[in-house]
């Protein structure tokens, strides 16, 4: 079953557990409740938010990420369960022992998939995607020529116009992108943890201060899905990150994509990618499971 991404934005809100529900209260008044079994992620994006220890423990037991956002709407902290996958110790050992050549080959697959999805997003909005197929083919093991960055420079201009500059701290489309990526990052973190992998041990993202380097690696091929949502919202008249826009972006994880097994939601694609990555680290295969056709089959309503 596809779960829900619940965002809490009310200042001074409190999250509590009552029987099988996550309950949101403020000043003693109940604002809403969601069945714990229906949750895919909880995003705390409010000043003065408090969370009971029962909620924290329950979310950890269910591998449901609790994401705490800062003022820029980007994740400031994630909850990671101490007791996860049944084979977590063995899989993390395999992950830590993975050779550089293997990690470079895996990164090559991820970058190629990302560029292919960027091309599909450009096609979906009627922009010129010529050259992206060739760029994808140019990616070698480890992407030493940084073809990913070459594609990005062309991509953003074609998607949002010559004046657009990607800025993690920016307003306008950047603010929407940041929020959409936060939702995607939460879903990716859950998939990584559920597969028994450690989020800090990345393939290409190796910043020692980044506790979710592997999460950032694995979400790369799915970023263009967020970009397509944001494009539709911006050109549909959205000017700020208000509640309706946040609700639309929260649908990213349940957007259908085409795969070898038929139509599959993004959240399931992430789970399959994480499991295939664990098998690669374990020596069972050298190929990641990624969507065959990167074009999302659903769009934000215009």
Per-residue pLDDT of 183-221, as tens digits, reads 999 889 888 887 889 889 999 987 777 888 999 999 999
Domain boundaries, the chain: 4-64, 88-296
pLDDT in tens, the chain (302 residues): 456 778 898 999 999 999 999 999 999 999 999 999 988 788 888 888 999 999 999 998 888 888 887 776 666 777 766 665 557 778 899 999 999 999 999 999 999 999 999 999 999 999 999 999 999 999 999 999 999 999 999 999 999 999 999 998 888 899 999 999 989 998 898 888 878 898 899 999 877 778 889 999 999 999 999 999 999 999 999 988 998 999 999 899 989 998 888 889 999 999 999 999 999 999 999 999 998 765 565 666 54
Separation of CA 205 from chain center = 15
Measured distance CA(266)–CA(126) in Å, rounded:
23
Tokens linked to 148:
């990913």
Residue 26: enclosing H or E segment and its boundaries?
strand 21-26
Residue 240 CB burial class (10 angstroms; 0-12, 13-18, ≥19): exposed
- CA-to-CA dists, residue 53 to 64, 119, 223, angstroms: 14, 45, 33
Report the pLDDT value the prediction gives residue 164, as an integer from 0 to 100: 94
Nearest CA-CA partner of 177 in 159, 163, 202, 192: 159
Report whether 216 contacts 206 (CB < 8 A): no
Report whether 292 contacts 260 (CB < 8 A): yes
The model's pTM:
0.81
Assigned CATH topology for domain 4-64? Ribosomal Protein L15; Chain: K; domain 2 (3.100.10)
Report the pLDDT value the prediction gives residue 193, as an integer from 0 to 100: 82
Q: What is the DSSP pairing of strand 75-78 with strand 66-69?
A: antiparallel
Output Rg (C-alpha) for the chain, integer angstroms. 19
- DSSP states of 134-190 as a string? HHHHH--TT-TT-HHHHHHHHHHHHHH-TT----TT-STHHHHHHHHHHHHHHHHHH
Report the pLDDT value the prediction gives residue 110, as an integer from 0 to 100: 98
Angle (CA) 221 79 244, round 5°: 60
CATH architecture of structural domain 88-296: Up-down Bundle (1.20)
Report the pLDDT value the prediction gives residue 15, as an integer from 0 to 100: 96
Report whether 257 contacts 271 (CB < 8 A): no
How many other CB atoms sit within 10 Å of the CB of residue 50?
13
């Amino acid at each position: 079953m596809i779960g829900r991404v619940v965002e809490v934005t009310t200042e001074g809100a409190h999250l509590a557990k009552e029987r099988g529900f996550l309950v949101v209260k403020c000043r003693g008044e109940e604002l809403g409740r969601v069945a714990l079994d229906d949750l895919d992620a909880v995003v705390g994006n409010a000043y003065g938010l408090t969370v009971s220890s029962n909620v924290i423990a329950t979310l950890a037991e269910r591998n449901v990420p609790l994401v705490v956002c800062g003022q820029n709407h980007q994740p400031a902290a994630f909850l990671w369960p101490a007791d996860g996958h049944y084979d977590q110790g063995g899989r993390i050992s395999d992950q830590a022992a993975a050779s550089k050549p293997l990690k470079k080959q895996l990164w090559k697959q991820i970058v190629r998939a990302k560029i292919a999805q960027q091309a599909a997003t450009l096609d979906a909005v009627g922009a010129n995607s010529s050259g992206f197929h060739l760029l994808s083919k140019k990616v070698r093991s480890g992407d030493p020529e940084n073809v990913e960055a070459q594609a990005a420079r062309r991509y953003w201009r074609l998607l949002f116009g010559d004046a657009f500059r990607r800025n993690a701290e920016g307003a306008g489309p950047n603010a929407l992108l940041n929020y959409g990526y936060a939702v995607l990052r939460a879903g990716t973190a859950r998939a990584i943890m559920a597969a028994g992998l450690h989020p800090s041990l990345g393939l290409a993202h190796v910043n020692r201060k980044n506790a979710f380097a592997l999460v950032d690696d694995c979400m790369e091929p799915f970023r263009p899905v967020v970009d397509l949502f944001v494009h539709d919202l911006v050109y549909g008249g959205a000017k700020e990150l208000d509640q309706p826009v946040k609700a639309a972006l929260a649908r990213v994880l349940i957007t259908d994509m085409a795969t070898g097994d038929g139509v599959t939601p993004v959240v399931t694609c992430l789970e399959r990618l994480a499991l295939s990555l664990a098998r690669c680290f374990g020596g069972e295969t050298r190929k990641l499971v990624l969507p065959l056709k990167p074009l999302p089959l659903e769009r934000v309503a215009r």
